[in-house]
Amino acid sequence: MKYVLMFVETEQFAKELEAMGELEQRAAYEAVGRWFAENADKITHHTHLAPVHTATTVRLGQGEPVVTDGPFVEGKEVVSGFAEVEVADLDEALKLARSWPACPIVEIRPVS
């Protein structure tokens, strides 16, 4: 089955990352790189998004589309990237998500 893992950053996590020294930061990025390399056979596609301050939202439906600055939900948790994976079942997808070395929340959705 195909699933999308949505990586969700929190304010807390962003702060921690910022507070890290250069070496620590590099180690954190390397851990992410290793995760992608180790699971390359299951990952069919992935994207890392630019920071949330670059987001623009368009709301359609009521008259003219309304364009606003910012993400569609203002909150402390923001989606920072996606990975599409091809695995046997939810348990395998869960196993991947559990081993994710970076941001603290991962949402798993099957691709319909």
Partner 1 sequence: MHEEMSREVLARVVREHAGRLAASLVSLLGDFSAAEDLVQDAVETALRRWPVEGVPERPDAWLSTVARRRGLDVLRRESNYRAKLARLTWPAPAAPDDRLRLIFTCCHPALSRAAQIALTLRVVCGLSTTQIAAAFVVPESTVAQRITRAKRKIGEAGIPYRVPPQEELPERLGEVLAVIYLLFNEGYLSSTAEQAQARDLVDDAEWLASLLANLVPKDPEVAGLLALIRLHRARGGARFDADGRLVLLADQDRSLWDRRAIEDATALLTRAARVHRRPGPYQLQAAIVACHAEAETFADTDWAQILVLYDMLLHLTPSPVTRLHRAIAVRYARGVEAALAELKELGDALERYPLFHATQAELLRGLGRREEARRADERALELIANPAQQALLEQRLAWD
Site residues for partner 1 per CB under 8 A: 1, 3, 88-91, 93-94, 108, 110, 112
Q: Are residues 103 and 35 in contact, defined by beta-carbon separation less than 8 angstroms?
A: no
Angstrom distance (rounded) from CA 28 to CA 34: 10
Q: Choose between 4 and 32: whose C-beta lies nearer to partner 1.
A: 4
Q: How far is the CB of 53 from partner 1 (least distance, A)?
A: 33
Q: Choose between 66 and 90: whose C-beta lies nearer to partner 1.
A: 90
Q: How far is the CB of 38 from partner 1 (least distance, A)?
A: 17
Q: How far is the CB of 109 from partner 1 (least distance, A)?
A: 8
Q: What sign has the CA pseudo-torsion 94, 39, 11, 78?
A: negative
Q: How far is the CB of 89 from partner 1 (least distance, A)?
A: 4
In 81-103, which positions are buried (b, 16+ CB within 10 angstroms) versus exposed (e)? bbbebebeeeeebeebbeebebb
Q: Choose between 28 and 106: whose C-beta lies nearer to partner 1.
A: 106
* End-to-end Cα, the chain, rounded Å: 9
Q: Choose between 44 and 68: whose C-beta lies nearer to partner 1.
A: 44
